[in-house]
Amino acid sequence: MNIFDELSWRGLVHQTSDDAGLREHLETPGRVLYCGFDPTADSLHIGNLVPLLALARFAKAGHRPLFLLGGATGLIGDPSGKDKERQLKTAETIAASAEKIKTHALAFFARVGVEGEVTPANNLDWTRPMSVIEFLRDIGKHFTINYMMAKDSVKSRIGREETGISYTEFSYMILQSMDFEHLNRTLGCTLQIGGGDQFGNITAGLELIRRKTGNTAYGLTFPLITTASGAKFGKSEKGAIFLNPELTSPYAFYQYWINADDRDVCNFLRYFTFLPKEEIDALAVETAERPHLRAAQKRLARETTAMIHGEEELAKVEAVTEALFGGGELHAVDPGTLKAALEAAPGLNFEALPDVPPLPKLLADIGLCPSNSQARKDIKAGGIYLNNERVPSEDRALVAEDFLGGDLLILRKGKKNYGVVTLG
């Protein structure tokens, strides 16, 4: 299948510079394309999965994608979609973030089977050596103020008297255009892809290529992903869902997907997985007929978590999920993943086992029971669990073997109320 058709049935084509021309262009394998990622944070987030997956899809279709890090443009700041100036970051901060993002991206490409087929690059390599005079004469001369003022990213800021737009961010469009022209001239790159808010910058690059070389190139953008409930995609109660496990644990990442709304899940399967249309359609039927099984959500969570965190982390997450919600054996799961799963639960820490109070007081202190006496009643009624095992008596003494991994103990009241006790 032509990659243009593949992206179309998945609902991933929002704008193009020329639908028919681009589709015909992509009939020939080996086309060079790129997508840029500014390293303004230490991690990409799940909204970046659409372009990351697109680069992998193009590679699988026989084309030659470039993963472009914005070492230069990240120092400037893209005004697209922003109502005020970004806070400028140091060159050292941007460079460190770029390296982290590059490491995560290359690991992702390896996991989805296109290792070595997506080439990383950094626009600082050709921007840094350029003098101001060269920039103004060789690049700036091809842009009129009238043309730049007509772009949405600039026009929306010009009307805000209290913020406006600095010359620095005003020039971002020219820098991004220069990237496209440089890659077109040196590597034969003929396509830039990106989010819908990048269409103005992409078409500016097409214009620069046309003016400087007369070459034909193309642009393609993806739609803004929204949820049926109106909530912003990629946000949880704790904020953005990052691809870096140090910022969003694999467990939290998995839970975001498995909690997808029935109205969204099949769209997400199209956008965020490589599953073929027939499988997604079958999961759509199952969701409609047996929504309580959440088969589509489970498949979505499995596919995305394996892509970002690997099969080993997926296995840990699924084991913890089964233990917590299916009553499985907690002693057999990974303690680190278990801690991440219960990070929102109330917790207490003690230096050593002798410092831990008797069970009724512990339940009251951690907030699972309102008082020691109520804790005793709840234990007697069979409603208190220690590491998923019912506590037989209020006299049950805690021993070192109760602490998973030597330092973690899980209390539960009823089915869903958890408390965490740690040592050390």
- Residues annotated within the binding site for ATP are 235
Q: Which residue has the tokens 């087929």?
A: 117
Neighbours of 354 (CB within 10 A): 6
The encoded tokens of residue 248 equal: 């969003």
If one counts every other C-beta atom within 10 angstroms of the C-beta of residue 237, the result is 5
Residue positions in the annotated binding site for L-tyrosine?
34, 172, 176
Report how far residue 123's alpha carbon sits from residue 177's, in angstroms, rounded to the nearest whole number: 11
Identify the DSSP state of 209.
H
**Cβ pair 307, 243 in contact under 8 A:** no
235 forms beta bridges with 240
* Residue 120 to residue 98: CA distance in whole angstroms: 11
User: Whole-angstrom Cα distance, residue 421 to residue 346?
Assistant: 9
Q: How far apart are CA 308 and CA 45, in angstroms?
A: 11
Q: How far apart are CA 405 and CA 337, in angstroms?
A: 12
Hey, which bits of 183-290 come out as E strands?
Answer: 189-195, 218-222, 235-236, 239-240
| Range list of H helices, 49-198 | 49-60, 73-76, 91-111, 124-127, 132-134, 145-149, 152-158, 167-170, 172-187
Q: How far apart are CA 214 and CA 224, in angstroms?
A: 32
User: CB of 221 within 8 A of CB of 198?
Assistant: yes
Q: Which helix (H) or strand (E) holds 348?
A: strand 347-350
Distance CA 293, CA 152 (A): 45
Radius of gyration of the chain (CA): 26
- Return binding residues: 34, 172, 176, 235
